[in-house]
Structure 1
């Protein structure tokens, strides 16, 4: 294809194993130094610098300087959504890495997907919102929005929908969950959910990890607010 978006360049950027490991490390939403990212990718600092330069030139990363250190983050939520979608497709097609460990069950249960919740609980929340018709297709491109009932429900939680609607990013977006292979909620509302659940003390993030722990009280409240879909 001679015209249109250059998906080949994006594919090349994320297709390198070292760069893929760097991007995966930044899916936690935290800023990391080049040294930390080199360790995550299993490469030297000099090699990491070369990869980071390419990722920044490709618009996938941004950096901020603080003192002697440079901190790198994903360039925005759309990059995190793209990466999680690719992970979901890879899992769906059976392209799985064999590395396993004690964190895997916790990652499947609940984790951060850049700035929103992913994993089993996040999929249950998405299913519950759909089952109660709180989500609706908002245009012919298949984008999601809130119904009047859905907006009332979100407001009842203490989340102000107005600034979310005013945001440049989509309010609701279906994001394919790589572990559950079904959708969870992204967009500005997905990010607002994550912040709200943290503020309520229902969930907490593991340091230097994407893993989310749900407290007993948090699980009780989340199950009450987002009951499982009846089969």
Structure 2
């Protein structure tokens, strides 16, 4: 007797190579058009529209209409977490290697956007320091930034008032596909990455999830985490 949600339907939606490539392109939190996603998937716009309709039906993506333009984005952080987990399994098994390699692969492993927070080597290093130096406090019900943590983050201009009011968890760990250890997610993870961008320490590399830190930005990041 079948019990619980039917995971085979979602697995089939994600498992198609074209749809998988489109979902991966949305992993940096941006909203893209059908034409842009067709290019990412290597298919025609008409075929992409069919795939997008199925992804919307499965509630993996959402559509936003602005005038004549339709933009698509991931339906939420749960979908992003699912994709990150699948990337980790594919990387571990060795069966999911892409044929295209090069500098982007190294950059992606060093620092990248995971939906809206910092992932890769630098994301894991940040969480390691936050745990080791007690920047985080486990209240038993949730994980939050401690007073010591806010003291350290004040160096880059962040205070408790910087956190937006939201039902989203303040701090959450996310298992990194390339390092296979945790990095920081949640509203605090997004806040810190947005501040790195605002300070000019880093910027997104065009057409990829990779984040490129400037020489000064990386030095300041290393000083921040000690």
Same-fold status (TM-score > 0.5): yes
Alpha carbons 2:150, 2:158 under 8 Å: kept: no
Specify the alignment match of 1:166 in structure 2.
165
Alpha carbons 1:27, 1:113 under 8 Å: kept: yes
Seen in structure 2, the aligned counterparts of structure 1 residues 144 and 41 have a Cα distance that, compared at 3 Å, is same
Q: How many residues align?
A: 225
Specify the alignment match of 2:127 in structure 1.
126
1:100-179 alignment runs, 5 A limit: 100-139=101-140, 144-162=143-161, 164=163, 166-179=165-178
Q: What is the RMSD computed on CA atoms of the aligned residues?
A: 2.1
Alpha carbons 2:150, 2:159 under 8 Å: kept: no
Specify the alignment match of 1:202 in structure 2.
201
Deviation per CA, 1:49-82: give whole Å up to 9, x if none: 1111111111111111223221111112232222
Seen in structure 2, the aligned counterparts of structure 1 residues 128 and 97 have a Cα distance that, compared at 3 Å, is same
1:14, distance to aligned residue in structure 2 (A):
1.2
1:165, distance to aligned residue in structure 2 (A):
7.1
TM-score of the pair, normalised by structure 2: 0.89
Specify the alignment match of 1:75 in structure 2.
75
CA distance in structure 2 between the aligned counterparts of 1:200 and 1:163, rounded to whole angstroms:
15
Alpha carbons 1:154, 1:161 under 8 Å: kept: no
Which structure 2 segments of 5+ residues have no match? Answer: none
CA distance in structure 1 between the aligned counterparts of 2:33 and 2:51, rounded to whole angstroms:
13
Question: Would you say 1:85 and 2:85 are equivalent positions?
Answer: yes
CA distance in structure 2 between the aligned counterparts of 1:66 and 1:101, rounded to whole angstroms:
36
Seen in structure 2, the aligned counterparts of structure 1 residues 58 and 155 have a Cα distance that, compared at 3 Å, is farther
Specify the alignment match of 1:223 in structure 2.
222
1:128, distance to aligned residue in structure 2 (A):
0.8
Q: Runs (4+) of structure 1 moved beyond 6 Å?
A: none
Alpha carbons 1:165, 1:171 under 8 Å: kept: no
Alpha carbons 1:62, 1:72 under 8 Å: kept: yes
1:160, distance to aligned residue in structure 2 (A):
3.5
Alpha carbons 2:62, 2:74 under 8 Å: kept: yes
Deviation per CA, 1:9-32: give whole Å up to 9, x if none: 322221221111110011122211
Specify the alignment match of 1:183 in structure 2.
182
CA distance in structure 1 between the aligned counterparts of 2:73 and 2:126, rounded to whole angstroms:
27
Specify the alignment match of 1:55 in structure 2.
55
Deviation per CA, 1:103-160: give whole Å up to 9, x if none: 11111111111111111111110111111122244437xx533333224433453223
TM-score of the pair, normalised by structure 1: 0.88
CA distance in structure 2 between the aligned counterparts of 1:167 and 1:160, rounded to whole angstroms:
16
Alpha carbons 1:155, 1:161 under 8 Å: kept: no
Seen in structure 2, the aligned counterparts of structure 1 residues 209 and 137 have a Cα distance that, compared at 3 Å, is same
Deviation per CA, 1:156-201: give whole Å up to 9, x if none: 5322334637311111111111111211111111110111001111
